[in-house]
Amino acid sequence: MMLGVRLDAEMEAQVLRVARQRRQSKSELVREAVQRFVREHDDARRQECIRQSLAVADEPVDLAWDALGEDAWSAADGPA
């Protein structure tokens, strides 16, 4: 797939300078940068989901019978 990206002159000069230092084409450098950005974004999203799941898991749960209500007592006693 071909993708065009518009850069201002200063950014294009920086990309060209780094590409030359690394002996890469501008396309290779930008492709690598996009891959890294996407990977880091996916990792950050995954870490946030884990953080939220752990926060929910750390919330206290009241397992006392009185917290469950009368319906729980009826169900615990079995069929009437």
pLDDT at 2 over 70: yes
Pick the residue with more confidence: 65 or 46?
46
DSSP 11-43: HHHHHHHHHHHTT--HHHHHHHHHHHHHHHHHH
pLDDT for the residue numbered 77: 57
pLDDT at 30 over 90: yes
pLDDT at 69 over 80: no
**Band (70; pLDDT cuts 50, 70, 90):** low
Mean pLDDT throughout 68-74? 60
pLDDT for the residue numbered 14: 96
For the chain, domain boundaries: 33-59
